[in-house]
Structure 1
Amino acid sequence: MRLLNLLTRFELRKILRRKSTLVGIIIILAVAVFLEFMSVSGENVVGEDGNDISGLSAISLSRQNAHRLAGELNTESIAAAIDRHLLATKKTENLNKTTEEGISLSNKAYGKYEQKDVEINNLIRIAYSSSDKYDYYIMDKLSTHDASAFYQKRMDKINKYLNMEFSYGNYSTDEKDYFKAMNGKINVPFKFDYSSGWMNLMRDLDLVILVTAFVISLSVSRVFAGEYQSGADSIILSSRYGRSKLISAKLRASFLFSTGLYFGSILFLTVIMLSVYGQYGSGSNIQIILFQSPYPLTIFQTYLASVLIGYIACLLIMSITLLFSARMKSPFSVILCSVVLLLAPLFIPDSKSSRLFNNLLNLLPSKMLDGYSVFARYESYHVFNRIIAEPWVIGAVALTFTLAFLPFTYHSFKHHQVV
């Protein structure tokens, strides 16, 4: 065991000292910082004086306003938000213009009255709008008595969606019942709080995980193929532990590197995002930011599940790259095949005629990295006469193939014939 640990550290240092690894880490950090910059620069609110506020000041004001309303999103809080909106629109001095669509407030009135409720009002508009469009002016048509129908409106939208006609196949009765049962487990009234930081964080996770997966693939591509290219395979495989402990050390080093790089990248993105936006909203229902999501999870639980699924998917990509590396003699060929496998599925459009094709497409490695958005979808798989939600199938498939590929990698290098 001591020798194995020593060999593992040696192989790990080899991976870390490669220029490609250093460049990859810099790229990951740069992408995370860029996404943070784009999120912050894209924040805009209206102040009480009617002037536009952007950037960090906008985030601070939005956080203050939304957190002031933190608590249960119950009938009373929804009715109060509707009432405040209607009172503001009844004062003629607050109006900018009135059209057939609805009432438009002046900038100053919007900043004074409407901006404080913008997060709750957005949820109300989503709930009461028709299924096919978002109606910004729907609140002008509501009364405080409509507040009690908020959660029923949400379920009406879900039921309508589940009963729609889709060209690629409709939901079966069992699938409808499955998703209705999932929705029935969601705690209501929702817990509400400022959650823009978590929403931006999970939205940006997908890209950071994709870039991290690419860097992992790039960094481990030379683990075995590099030995072929340098001619060191003849020395390694003829040594005492070359066909046993050294191979295990290479696999362990790849796993440790991939794990460290993945969670380091996620931690960096999480810290810089939440340090700016704050941690409010972690205990809120995921439905606060994914309104029709069928999953009975909090925002923080969804974040953890997304990170875990992304991690297992990255391990799958690592294991595939190692298998290529063990069977190919050129690191360039390994990188080329790995990149094609990673990126090509992203350009394959969803089928308009086959749900099965779409479900299989979502089980390809690069599609697995889209961990956050799967919690917004109503997708499931039939496994041994049981219906299982998409995120759990993705995780199980990725883990299964990861564990299956590693023994093949071990034996491919072990039985390599030196020329």
Structure 2
Amino acid sequence: MIRFEIKKVFSRTRSKTAALLLVIVLLAVSMLTISRVEYVDESGNHRTGMGAAGKLREEKNVWAGYLTGDVFRSVYQENSRINGEYSSGSAEGSTEAENRMFQEKQGISSIADVINLANSPWREYDYYAIDNITEDEAAKVYEKRISGLEEWFASGEEDFPEAQQAFLLDQYKSLDTPFYYEYFDGWGALLKNISTFMMILALFIGFFVSGIFSDEFQLRADAVFLSAKLGRSRAVLAKIAAGLLMATALFAAFIFAYTFIVLFVLGAGGAGSPIQLELWRDFYNATFLETYLLIVLGGYVGTMFAVSAAMLVSAITRSTVIAIMAPFVVLCVLPFLSRIITLPAICSFFPDRLMDIYNAVQDFSLLEIGGKVVGLPPVLILVYAIAVFALQPVIYGVCRRVEVR
């Protein structure tokens, strides 16, 4: 029965059209993500693609290893050498000189970014920070990360309860250092766009399941369906299971395809490097791979919640059009409302936050429960996972009690 329900969904013209559009979106987002990684050749040309990523990876991996104070000093010295080479002579300030300087700095750019972040004002990024500090200051990256947070708390720019301040400082101090570094640009580009792709994917999946109940009424097949011996029991369960399985399969297939395309072209190196190389303020002691899995898990739970809402609306309203709107309301309208209503505590629990864990892990999204401070993303995932399970009996109950009109 489950297989039959899935075949019914994909036999419809609208589903086939949606599937084609989703493939187009996948390719478009993949190309957009791949174009984030650029390599500047000796002629000053900006190149993208597998060859460019390979060249960039080769230059950056010259510095692969643990980022100790000595490594930061070496990067500082290399940066100063390049600056000195291109800041003298008649070519100073020319576009050609700037391109050549950028081209030579590509190998150290990611490590220089870490030095810049450590020596920039909190929540800001000064690209030229490394040019305006001493070598000793450049070597104290890990100390500056902690002192920067302490100074930001002391400034009073944002009001954090003492318990949350203590939690964040403890997280910062317990972070494993020195960082292990290797080329990670493929993962960095992947994480930047994956939230957007998951949001689009969730809306498409909601479209696929939106008619799983309502179509029976619109096709006038409800009388036969509901009067059959197992119409209000096993048949309903088969529809629910088909919706959930279809959503899971689509989510897994397209997330895998997106991840594979991006990492195949840009390279999968750096999966075990700390996420702080990309998200400097992130307080989780996690790698790129672990952060990716957390983001995807959040997106999956958010998608399943939106799908469950669409199936429930489909069963209650008997309207596919209204059911299609359910995921849009859950994932797009609520974020808009969060900009209007001034209740950040409530807004932080809106389901759209599951689709944007990339930003949540670096924006200090915290929750205090019984005097204990925890990160908000894992709590959101748990809460909405429970909600998804809780909605299934509700959907089943609505369908069992529905009347034939």
After TM superposition, the score normalised by the length of structure 1 is 0.89
Alignment correspondent of 2:372: 386
2:394 matches 1:408: yes
Alignment correspondent of 1:3: none
Alignment correspondent of 2:239: 250
Distance in structure 1 (CA, Å) of the matches to 2:205 and 2:63? 43
3-state SS, counterpart of residue 159 of structure 2: coil
Distance in structure 2 (CA, Å) of the matches to 1:110 and 1:91? 9
Decide whether the 8 Å contact of 1:94 with 1:109 is kept in 2.
no
Distance in structure 2 (CA, Å) of the matches to 1:283 and 1:77? 19
2:60 matches 1:66: yes
2:212 matches 1:219: no
Distance in structure 2 (CA, Å) of the matches to 1:371 and 1:132? 18
Alignment correspondent of 1:39: 33
| Offset of residue 410 of structure 1 | 0.3
Distance in structure 1 (CA, Å) of the matches to 2:163 and 2:362? 19
Distance in structure 1 (CA, Å) of the matches to 2:151 and 2:337? 28
3-state SS, counterpart of residue 109 of structure 2: helix
> 5 Å matches for 1:4-403?
7-47=1-41, 49-56=42-49, 57-91=51-85, 96-97=91-92, 106-107=97-98, 109-110=100-101, 113-131=104-122, 133-165=124-156, 170-350=159-339, 354=342, 357-403=343-389
| Offset of residue 92 of structure 1 | 6.5
Alignment correspondent of 1:4: none
Decide whether the 8 Å contact of 1:351 with 1:358 is kept in 2.
no
Distance in structure 2 (CA, Å) of the matches to 1:55 and 1:314? 32
Decide whether the 8 Å contact of 1:76 with 1:147 is kept in 2.
no
Relative to structure 2, which stretch is displaced further, 49-58 or 171-180?
Answer: 49-58
| Offset of residue 307 of structure 1 | 0.7
Relative to structure 2, which stretch is displaced further, 196-205 or 283-292?
Answer: 196-205
The gaps in structure 2 that reach 5 residues or longer are none
Across the aligned residues of Structure 1 and Structure 2, the Cα RMSD in angstroms comes to 2.4
| Offset of residue 158 of structure 1 | 2.2
| Offset of residue 161 of structure 1 | 3.6
3-state SS, counterpart of residue 324 of structure 1: helix
After TM superposition, the score normalised by the length of structure 2 is 0.92
Read off the aligned partner of 2:40 and give its amino acid letter: V
Relative to structure 2, which stretch is displaced further, 28-37 or 393-402?
Answer: 28-37
Alpha carbons of structure 1 residues 338 and 93: separation in structure 2 relative to 1, 3 Å: closer
Distance in structure 1 (CA, Å) of the matches to 2:269 and 2:97? 30
| Offset of residue 132 of structure 1 | 5.8
| Offset of residue 105 of structure 1 | 9.3
Identity over aligned residues, as a percent?
A: 23
Read off the aligned partner of 1:87 and give its amino acid letter: R
Alpha carbons of structure 1 residues 337 and 42: separation in structure 2 relative to 1, 3 Å: closer
Distance in structure 1 (CA, Å) of the matches to 2:126 and 2:288? 26
Decide whether the 8 Å contact of 1:201 with 1:273 is kept in 2.
yes
The gaps in structure 1 that reach 5 residues or longer are 1-6
Alpha carbons of structure 1 residues 81 and 270: separation in structure 2 relative to 1, 3 Å: same
How many residue pairs get aligned? The number is 403
3-state SS, counterpart of residue 371 of structure 1: helix
Relative to structure 2, which stretch is displaced further, 271-280 or 191-200?
Answer: 191-200
Distance in structure 1 (CA, Å) of the matches to 2:250 and 2:103? 46
Residues 141-177 of structure 1, C-alpha deviations (whole Å, 9 max, x = no match) = 33332233111111122223444545xx721001111
| Offset of residue 373 of structure 1 | 1.8
3-state SS, counterpart of residue 214 of structure 1: helix
3-state SS, counterpart of residue 189 of structure 1: coil
